[in-house]
């Protein structure tokens, strides 16, 4: 088995869906290939984090009906129970499991995509945050040094976001990355609070915001989003930390030094 074959099968292998022969082949390959072994570990981490961190919702009746209809549609015609055709029943059952899994995966995939479909900034900020935390691309520049993070971001944007390390106040700076909000590249500062990650999207205050409103707070899909303006910028903080901590934090970063 070469790397190409192995990477095509890694996900199925991780889910325990391969037959013993192919499992053994991929295991032999993983023993000798650090690159594929790293991919396997990455998949395992992602799976664990999705299970632990993605909020679960009960499917609505409409979604339930759509899944059911799609599964039924995808099913091969039910095999006729005839003597001597017993194995077809098993084959049919196998195909059913496969189709159901695929259709279900497709629905989950669309549901995740629908998350980001709205042009609502809060939804977009939460989607950016989820993508970054689950996708292993939390920072483009990993540094607790504001004098490293700020120039890195300024060089890639047409504005210069204020950057502070708030370690002394319990919010160490982890780094920064370039993300997208409202169809524009946006400076994203990454902070830590205890075991939590806080993303802060910073951009110049849009002209439509005449006077600085107080901190506003929203909750979406289990994440809190706190908004503030200050230091000539607009600040959106997204995290799973408690609303009061996040509001205090966003007010603090917006206020500047």
Residue 3 Cβ, how far from Zn ion at the closest point, in Å?
3
Binding mask 173-192 for Zn ion (x = CB under 5 A): --------------------
Residue 18 Cβ, how far from Zn ion at the closest point, in Å?
16
User: How many amino acids of this chain bind Zn ion (CB under 5 A)?
Assistant: 4
> Which of 23, 231 has the CB closer to Zn ion?
23
Rounded CA separation 225/19 (Å)? 45
> Which of 5, 140 has the CB closer to Zn ion?
5
> Which of 3, 101 has the CB closer to Zn ion?
3
> Which of 3, 117 has the CB closer to Zn ion?
3
Near Zn ion in 24-43, by CB under 5 A: 33, 36
> Which of 31, 111 has the CB closer to Zn ion?
31
Near Zn ion in 191-230, by CB under 5 A: none
Rounded CA separation 88/71 (Å)? 19
What strands lie across the sheet with 233-239, from one edge to the other? 141-142, 173-181, 184-193, 196-204, 233-239, 223-230, 216-220
Residue 33 Cβ, how far from Zn ion at the closest point, in Å?
3
Per DSSP, the three-state class of 195 is coil
Nearest to 97 by CA among 74, 64, 66: 74
Nearest to 187 by CA among 218, 219, 232, 120: 232
- What are the DSSP calls for 40-92, one per residue? HHHHHHHHHHHHHHSPP-PPPHHHHHHHHHHHHHHSPPPPP--TT-HHHHHHH
* Site for Zn ion contains 254 (CB under 5 A): no
Rounded CA separation 205/143 (Å)? 26
Near Zn ion in 5-24, by CB under 5 A: 6
Residue 17 Cβ, how far from Zn ion at the closest point, in Å?
19
Q: Which residues lie near Zn ion (CB under 5 A)?
A: 3, 6, 33, 36
């Amino acid at each position: 088995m070469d790397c190409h074959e192995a990477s095509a099968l890694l996900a199925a292998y991780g889910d325990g869906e391969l037959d013993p022969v192919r499992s053994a082949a991929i295991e032999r390959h993983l023993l000798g290939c650090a690159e594929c072994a790293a991919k396997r570990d990455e998949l395992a981490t992602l799976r664990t984090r999705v299970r632990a961190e993605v909020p679960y919702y009960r499917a609505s009746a409409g979604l339930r009906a759509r899944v059911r209809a799609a599964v039924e549609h995808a099913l091969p015609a039910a095999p006729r129970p005839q003597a001597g055709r017993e194995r077809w029943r098993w084959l049919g059952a196998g195909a059913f499991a496969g189709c159901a899994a695929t259709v279900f995966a497709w629905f989950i995939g669309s549901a995740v995509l629908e998350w980001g479909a709205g042009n609502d900034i809060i939804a977009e900020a939460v989607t950016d945050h989820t993508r970054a935390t689950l996708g292993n691309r939390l920072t483009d520049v990993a540094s607790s040094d504001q004098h490293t993070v700020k120039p890195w971001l300024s060089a890639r944007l047409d504005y210069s976001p204020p950057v502070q390390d708030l370690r002394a106040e319990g919010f160490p700076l982890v780094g920064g990355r370039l993300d997208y909000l409202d169809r524009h590249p946006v400076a994203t500062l990454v902070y830590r609070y205890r075991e939590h990650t806080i993303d802060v999207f910073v951009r110049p205050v849009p002209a439509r915001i005449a006077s600085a409103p107080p901190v506003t707070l929203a909750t979406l899909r289990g994440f809190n989003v706190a908004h503030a303006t200050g230091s000539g910028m607009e600040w959106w903080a997204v995290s799973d930390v408690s609303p009061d901590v996040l509001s205090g934090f966003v007010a603090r970063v917006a206020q500047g030094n």
